[in-house]
Amino acid sequence: MAQKTKILIIGGTGYIGKFVVEASVKEGHPTFVLVRENTTTKHPEKANLIHNFKTLGATILYGDIHDHESLVKAIKHVDVVISTVGGGLVADQVKLIAAIKEAGNVKRFLPSEFGTDVDHVNAVEPAKTTFAGKARIRRAVEAADIPHTYISCNGFAGYFLPTVGQMDTHTAPREKITILGDGNPKGRIINA
């Protein structure tokens, strides 16, 4: 039987990350989750999630995307790095790229950019700026010559519907909705 790939998930306690951790473990991969030491202090609700990861068989590694030494140390345990960091940390993935390059053992990197294919989009603000940041990460991964996979699976209804796509709010607007562009965009469906 072939040896399973060792996977490190960064952002594993977040919106998408928790599902990636669970799927990795259930597929039988030795799964490592990078967690900040103060996660349960700042977010007590995540204590149960981390406990669940341990119960499933994931290994918790303490570190931070802003701590180069902890990143390199964590990355040396694995073959694949999957980043599921949220929007506020997407640009900080350059730190992951540097750590992956230094560790020198990663066979595949999946940066956090789940959503629209940023190389094939014609967006308006505020999405335009967000997509440009994700495109910069793609270029940095390619420049570092790290084996990689980009996952573009379009938007997540569960993320956007509660706010009717109003990216700067946390609840649905009651009186005004901003429609980006002219409200009549052309769409494209690609069947693989």
Angle, alpha carbons 132-86-14 (nearest 5°) = 160
Note if 176 is an active site residue: no
What gap in Å lies between CA 20 and CA 43, rounded to an integer? 20
Phi, psi values for residue 83, rounded to 5°: -100, 125
Q: Identify the sign of the CA torsion 138, 139, 143, 144.
A: negative
Coil, strand or helix at 145 = coil
- Active site residue: 46, 95, 134, 176, which one? 134
Beta strands in the chain (DSSP E): 7-10, 31-35, 59-62, 80-83, 108-110
Give how far the C-alpha of residue 38 lies from the chain's centroid of Cα atoms, to the nearest Å. 20
Closest by CA to 50, choosing from 68, 31, 65, 67, is 31
Asked if 173 and 164 touch (Cβ cutoff 8 Å), the reply is yes
The catalytic residue positions are: 134
